[in-house]
Amino acid sequence: MPEFMKSLKIPQVDTPPDPIDGYTIIYGTATGIGTSTIENPDNVTDISGFVVDFDYIDSVISLGIAPANLSISNVVLEITEVFDNIGSNITIGDDVNHSLLMESTNNDTTTLGSYSLNPNYMFSVDTEIFIYINGLGSIQGTGVCRVYFD
């Protein structure tokens, strides 16, 4: 065992910490070691933003609440399986302006790839943001949307 492992101190807590997707958190309890893990959530809030999976069947998905006065620094749309209808499109925005953060001309649902924008947009009040998916009769198509804050 490495020397540093012999002196590793794990804090004891009364309440388990919130799990983080893809990580196992180890913590001490009164009766020993505990772990906290979450697997495949529908909507994940990571340390700096939102991550949501989507497919051609979806139409509107809430990405989460963008906190007031916190800049949305980066929006990434990754097409992992192409949509088979050339007229399909995706936008990202709020309930007033559906393409505020990403217009459909900034991505191509019929081409595999990652599409990224740096809107540096800041809401003055807490605002729910959405991904708007128009599959237009597609029978395939999947992706991941990520929104990051500064």
The tokens for 39 are: 């697997």
Same domain, residue pair 76 and 24: no
Same domain, residue pair 25 and 48: no
Sheet-wide strand order for 72-81: 43-46, 49-55, 142-149, 72-81, 113-117
Predicted pLDDT of residue 150:
80
- Is residue 6 within a helix (H) or strand (E), and if so which, with residue range? helix 3-6
Same domain, residue pair 28 and 49: no
Same domain, residue pair 117 and 91: yes
Once rounded to an integer, what is the mean pLDDT over residues 66-95? 94
Which of 43, 74, 64, 52 shows the shortest CA–CA distance to 133? 52
Please tell me the distance from the alpha carbon of residue 117 to that of residue 143, in angstroms, as a whole number. Answer: 16
Same domain, residue pair 14 and 53: no
Same domain, residue pair 32 and 47: no
| Rounded CA Rg of the chain | 19
7 has pLDDT over 70: no
pTM exceeds 0.75, yes or no: no
Q: Give the pLDDT band of residue 88 (cuts 50, 70, 90).
A: very high
- For the chain, how many structural domains are there in total? 2
Q: Which domain holds residue 49?
A: 43-149
Same domain, residue pair 30 and 83: no
